[in-house]
Each structure stands twice: as C-alpha cells, then as structure tokens.
Amino acid sequence: MERVKLQVNGREHEVAAEAKTPLLYILRNDLGLKGTRFGCGTGHCGACTVLMDGKAIQSCDTPLWSVEGREITTIEGLGTREKLHPLQEAFLDEQAAQCGYCINGIIMSAAALLQRSKNPTEEEVTKALERNLCRCGTHVRILRAIRNVAGKS
C-alpha cells in the first residue's frame, strides 16, 4: 500500500492503496463518488468514464499511479441535484435515460467533447461516444440532449 495524492473535483485527496488499483475503485470506495459506474472493467463500455485534465478516460482501466498530478472530474464534480450541469439538465429535460446506468459515463464523454468543440457535428458527437454503450436503446434521446446543449453554448 502506498499513499497517493490525487486531485478530484477540485479537491486534493490522499488515499492509501496499491499504485496499480484502477481509479474506478478509488473514486467509488475511497472517495464515495458512486456516480461513476462499473460496467466491464476493460474500458469497453464507458460506464466508468471520467475526465482527466478535461479528456474523457475510462477509470476502470486507469491505474491510480497514472493520475497523480492530474485533475480528475467525476459526475459529482460536474453538477449536483441542487445545481445541475447543463448536460444533466438536458438529459432530464429529454428524459434521456431508461435504466440510467450508462448515462453518467455518456455525460462525461459529452462534457469532454463540448469542452473542446462548442458546436460539434453529428459525426463528432457519435465519435465522442464511440466508447460508450447503452443497452436500453435510449440513444436517440441521448443524442438529442447533447445536441440541445451544444446548440445553446
């Protein structure tokens, strides 16, 4: 076990864990940030997507050691129930969820996209979601919600 410092949602944290521990478990279990979900553990489904220095990464296959000195943002850092991020608000407005399990990862991918491109094309949106899966089939609403935010910004 080592003590590792990491910056999450604008706050400095220190955790005692093995350096190879996937970031996902640190976020969920050490920091109590449960909005980042486990889906496959191999970076194929996107349920665990968070931002690292503004870029979407899969936290399930990102080792703890690699995030030292980087800024991590989770869904909780994006917005809260009291103060929703525009993407969360748009997803709720469109009711762009069925089970909702994949959605936070999708919102994080979309947030990374909108940070680098204010008005992305359809292709850029689907490209940004190429690592995200949804099984309930909510895709059409998800794309609409993202488009709504992109249009506004």
Partner 1 sequence: MLPANLKANPRLDRWVRIDPRGAVTIFSGKVELGQGTVTAIAQIAAEELDVELGRIAMVPGDTAVSPNEWYTAGSLSMEAGGSAMRAACAEVRKLFVDAAARKLEVSAADLEVRDGTIGVPGTDLSTSYWALAGEVSLAREASGGVSPKNFSRYRIVGTSQPRLDLPAKLTGAAYVQDMELPNMLHGRVLRPPSYGARLEAFDADSVRALPGVDAVVVDGSFVGICAAREERALKALDAARGAARWSAGTPLPAFAEIHELLPKLRHETAVLVSKQGGAKAEKKLEASYSRPYIAHASIGPSCAVAWLRGGKLTVWSHTQGVFQLRGQIARVMGMRDEDVNVIHRDGAGCYGHNGADDAALDAALLARGAGRPVRVQWSREDELAWSPFGSAIAVKMSGGLDAAGKVAEWRHETWSHPHVQRPGTGDGVNLLAAWHLEKPHAASRAADPPFPPGAGARNAAPLYDFASQEVIYHLVTEQPLRVSALRALGAYTNVFAIESFMDELAGAAGADPVAFRLAHLADPRAKAVIEAAARAAGWQSGAKSDGNSGRGIAFARYKNASAYCAVVAEIEVAEKIRLRRAVAAVDAGQAVNPDGIRNQIEGGIVQAASWTLKEQVRWDASGVQTRSWEDYPILRFDEVPQIEIILINKEGEPSLGTGECAAGPTAGAIANALFHALGVRARHLPLTPERIAQSML
Judged by the rule CB under 8 A, the positions of this chain that interact with partner 1 are: 17-18, 21-22, 25, 28-29, 32-35, 37-42, 44-45, 47, 75-76, 79-81, 84, 88, 91-92, 95, 97-104, 107, 125-127, 129-130, 132-143
From the CB of 152, what's the least distance to partner 1, in Å? 18
Q: Letter for the amino acid at 69?
A: G
Dihedral in degrees, nearest 10, Cα atoms 68, 6, 69, 76 = 120
From the CB of 69, what's the least distance to partner 1, in Å? 21
Q: Where are the beta strands (DSSP E) in 45-135?
A: 49-52, 55-58, 71-73
Strands 71-73 and 2-8: parallel
Q: Are 119 and 150 in contact (CB under 8 A)?
A: yes
Stated length of the chain: 153
From the CB of 139, what's the least distance to partner 1, in Å? 4
Output 35 or 52, the one with its CB closest to partner 1. Answer: 35
Output 5 or 99, the one with its CB closest to partner 1. Answer: 99
